[in-house]
Amino acid sequence: MTASMGPAMRTLVPVNLSVHDAHVAAGLAAPVVERPGANDLDNWAQEAYSLDVNAATTLGFPVGNLSAGYKRQALMFGASRWKDVTTDEYTYRFGVALRAIVVVSEIQGSAALTLPIVAAKVELEDARATAQLLVRGYKGNKLARALPCWQTFGVDSYADYMKAVSNIQELILNDPENVEPELLATTVLSHALPSSNVSVGVVFGLHAIKEGSSLAHCIERLPTDDSEIMKTVRAVYDSHLGSDKEHDKPTLDQQQQADEELRGLRLSHSRFH
């Protein structure tokens, strides 16, 4: 088994915040980031996200206040024209975008949400939905006439709503003179994903504890001398056994806990016998 070193990776997270506010939300000092011009936006995208309501609120989307007793989900979709600006640590996606956010409460069933399903659930199953449109980075006055009419969100109004959204999409993406790019997404608010070495070390260490192996025996059986993997294995033992003695063996309770944390993951060939 081999593993390569690699830096922690971060994913782009959609936001409804400025660069400054995104850094404040992450507890960081805001840097100076050069914003691209409208003619620099050379990427186009359509997007769809299914978000937990609390996650949507954390990212700056105005999903409203609903009773905590409701089962809620936020569905976001839209289109954008954008360009990424990358610094030493983070990526910032600037552009113009249309985002439609639908928050559904009192949902029955666990099927993946789409707008047609939401419309049907509202009309047939007494689910509740609120729909909001957000336009970022566009200052043209023609937008006012393109907004959808006020109406209940149901099966009959679904087609009208989608037609209005499509018209707005065409308007804002085809009018660069009225575009002032804003921050659409950034890696600032994402959680860093561990490197593959850390993942390997965690699984290897947990499996060794499950098998009743001491730290010394586990390290002896490691198929690599990678320092990051070994450091991770030691950290796993320290957190589960609470001891830095390399020859201490895990108790039955510690073995069971490690087995539960593995959630069925197993090494293809046991190395601890």
| Confidence bin at 136 (pLDDT 50/70/90) | very high
Residue 162 CB: number of other CB atoms within 10 A?
15
CA distance 24 to 27: 5
User: What's the CA gap between 123 and 138, in Å, rounded?
Assistant: 34
Average pLDDT, the chain: 79
Residue whose entry in the numeric block shows the structure tokens 């957000």:
134
Cα 270 from Cα 192, distance rounded (Å): 30
CA torsion, ordered 264, 265, 266, 272, to nearest 10 deg: -100
Which one is predicted more confidently, 243 or 163? 163
150: pLDDT strictly greater than 90: no
Give the C-alpha separation, 76 to 53, whole Å: 11
**Partners of residue 74 on adjacent β-strands:** 51, 103
Rounded to an integer, what is the distance from CA 155 to the centroid of its chain?
Answer: 30
The whole model's pTM is what? 0.58
pLDDT of residue 208: 92
The most confident of the ranges 46-50, 106-110, 221-225 is: 221-225
Q: Is the pLDDT of residue 2 over 50?
A: no
- Give residue 96's pLDDT: 96
